[in-house]
Amino acid sequence: MPPEPTPDHVRFGGLTFDDFRAMATDDALSPHERVGFPDAYRDGAEAAILADIRAKLPALDDRGRTVLDIGPGCAGLPRMLRDLCRAREHRLVFVDSAEMLDHHADGPGLRKVAARFPDCAPLLQELEGAVDAIVVYSVLQYALTDASPFDFVDAALGLLAPGGRLLVADLPNASMRNRFLASAAGRAHHRAHIDPHGEPVVTFNRLERGELDDALVLGLAARARSAGFHAWIVPQPPELPMANRREDLLIHRP
């Protein structure tokens, strides 16, 4: 009898920068799986994700701006962002492992920096106060295993030009997930997708080790505000695949 398949939340949970480096070269994985998602979570969703990113980072629809994507990975979304930036004559910088960046062809308008952010001091110095739009999509949670999410966001804030925006997006907030699963809609979702005969187990007021939660997300927003930035926690549009349990942090340098 073949072994039971590993649940997705286990299979893609607790990944580190080095795990992603190895996954980037694993030909048995699909492009979505190489960046930590089952195909069902991302297939057909990337155009809607990019539309949401554009709505939250209006500089992307200007011309000749400087754009930074931290942890773009190697699936379709960064390729779509690259096409947009090429059409808008933006300067685009990808920061990720060399293994991930090898999936992106060299070409005009794209600069590839092989590094684990924010361990890229020369780039931080070069781009200090010069970036108009920063995308960090479904990446920050991995700073919990590799580094400090506060150091990560602090370093990104230092790169923003006046009027620039940082989108720390697709945050898997454990507190938000618990609130959703405790609702009637959440219980129905659990029966439809996880266990048709069971109820989700939800425990409030418990430390979720290794996971983002309200305290951390709100703390990041408060820290940015105290440093002179505007910061908002914003929802994802309902058509995105995990909008019922993920949210975005949007930060603007006035």
Longest CA–CA span in the chain (Å) reads 61
Residue where the block lists tokens 């709505």: 55
Question: Is residue 54 assigned to a domain?
Answer: yes
How many structural domains compose the chain?
Answer: 1
Question: Is residue 106 assigned to a domain?
Answer: yes
Question: Is residue 11 assigned to a domain?
Answer: no
Question: Is residue 203 assigned to a domain?
Answer: no
How many C-beta atoms lie closer than 10 Å to residue 128's C-beta?
A: 13
> What is the model's pLDDT at position 2?
34
164-188 confidence digits (pLDDT tens):
999 999 999 999 999 999 998 889 8
Strands 160-171 and 247-252: antiparallel
> What is the model's pLDDT at position 219?
97
Instruction: Using a cut of 0.85, tell me whether the model's pTM lies above it.
Output: yes
> What is the model's pLDDT at position 200?
86
User: In the numeric block, which tokens belong to residue 159?
Assistant: 């790169």
Question: Is residue 64 assigned to a domain?
Answer: yes
Assess whether pLDDT exceeds 60 at residue 4.
no
> What is the model's pLDDT at position 9?
52
Residues 6+ positions from 226 with CB-CB distance below 8 Å: none
Question: Is residue 80 assigned to a domain?
Answer: yes
User: In the numeric block, which tokens belong to residue 238?
Assistant: 């309902």
Q: Which domain holds residue 155?
A: 43-173+212-252
63-111 confidence digits (pLDDT tens):
999 999 999 999 999 999 999 999 999 999 999 999 999 999 999 999 9
CATH number assigned to the domain comprising residue 73? 3.40.50.150
Percent of the chain, pLDDT > 70?
A: 95
Do 131 and 94 touch, CB atoms closer than 8 A?
Answer: no
25-70 confidence digits (pLDDT tens):
998 999 898 998 888 888 889 999 999 999 999 999 999 999 999 9
116-170 confidence digits (pLDDT tens):
999 999 999 999 999 999 999 999 999 887 779 999 999 999 999 999 999 999 9
SS3 (DSSP) at 164: strand
